[in-house]
Amino acid sequence: MIFVPENVAQKKRRFLGPVGRLLIKIFRWEVKGEIPNLKKIILIGVPHTAMRDAWYGLLAVLALDLKINFFGAAWIFTRLPSLFTISNNLDRQGIPWPLWWLQKIILKKLGGIPVYRVNSKGLIQAAVEEFKNLENYILVIAPEGGVEAVEKFRSGFYYLAKGLEIPYVPVDIDFGNRCFNIKEPQKITGSFEDESAKIIEIFEGVKGATRTFKMLGI
């Protein structure tokens, strides 16, 4: 397991930490690269092609004793994933179940921040103001915005990194090699289109759970 520098947001877990380290070995996954020794980091994971990305990601977080925050569609905090569209309301996808309240508690304790897509106006600016008040954090974002192939990234990672004046760190979700590969930190130096082109090149050809990354239309 890779070294976690002292400035990086951490949370020692007496039970879940050892469990995470055991399970990630059982599933034969690993984390490669170097975590930058920064108090404030935005991690962007690509390609996000299946819900099981989150499972392996959770094991990595627990194994490394990291303290993270992540944005998630509101429905994943209270409902189970479904192969079929049950509701046209973007905040009411998935399958309702009796233990939704426990699911919500667990995901929030793991650092989850619900995003209500029906009314998400001002979300990024509100997040910038909130995270400015924190001393250290790791904010994890999937810039594709979901598990389907897309024509362009969502702009949240760009405006958060720019507004917070911190680097973003690309991370391969590499099912071909069963690893999370941490890349060099990237500073915002251009427009959203410029940064998108930069990270498209970084992730090009990475094999996800259900498809190899390639931006549609590129």
Name residue, tokens 């921040």.
113
- Statement: residue 87 has pLDDT above 90: no
Residue 205 is predicted with a pLDDT of 94
Residue 218: band (very low, low, confident or very high) from pLDDT cuts 50, 70, 90 = low
List, for residues 49-65, the tens digit of each pLDDT value: 998 999 999 999 999 99
Residue 81: band (very low, low, confident or very high) from pLDDT cuts 50, 70, 90 = confident
**Average pLDDT estimate for 35-52:** 96
Please give the helix or strand (H or E) that residue 18 lies within, else none: helix 16-26
Angle of CA points 147, 152, 154, to nearest 5°: 70
Residue 120: band (very low, low, confident or very high) from pLDDT cuts 50, 70, 90 = low
Kindly report the backbone phi and psi dihedral angles of residue 57, in degrees, each rounded to the nearest multiple of 5, phi listed first: -60, -40
Residue 9 located in a structural domain: no
Residue 38 located in a structural domain: yes
Rounded Cα–Cα distance for residues 135 and 4 (Å): 17
**Average pLDDT estimate for 158-169:** 96
**Average pLDDT estimate for 63-85:** 88
Name residue, tokens 């034969």.
28
Residue 217 is predicted with a pLDDT of 62
Name residue, tokens 């309240």.
101
**Average pLDDT estimate for 114-129:** 78
- Statement: residue 192 has pLDDT above 90: yes
Residue 161 located in a structural domain: yes
CA 119 to chain centre: 21
Residue 3 located in a structural domain: no
Residue 119: band (very low, low, confident or very high) from pLDDT cuts 50, 70, 90 = low
Which two tokens mark 94?
């998935």
Residue 2 located in a structural domain: no
Q: How many other C-beta atoms are found inside a 10 Å radius of the C-beta of residue 4?
A: 15
Torsion on CA atoms 16, 22, 23, 26, rounded to nearest 10: 180
Please give the helix or strand (H or E) that residue 182 lies within, else none: strand 179-182
- Contact criterion met (CB below 8 Å) for 43 and 168: yes
Give the domain range for residue 46: 16-203
List, for residues 193-208, the tens digit of each pLDDT value: 999 999 999 999 999 9
Residue 210 located in a structural domain: no
What average pLDDT does the chain have? 91
List, for residues 8-20, the tens digit of each pLDDT value: 999 999 999 999 9
Buried b (16+ CB within 10 A) or exposed e, 167-196: bbbbbbbbbeeebbebbebbebeeebeebb
Residue 118 located in a structural domain: yes
- Total tally of structural domains belonging to the chain: 1
List, for residues 165-186, the tens digit of each pLDDT value: 999 999 999 999 999 999 999 9
Percentage with pLDDT > 90 across the chain: 76
Residue 128 located in a structural domain: yes
Whether the bond into 47 is cis, omega within 30 of 0? yes
pTM of the full structure? 0.89
**Pick from 207, 165, 156: nearest CA to 41:** 165
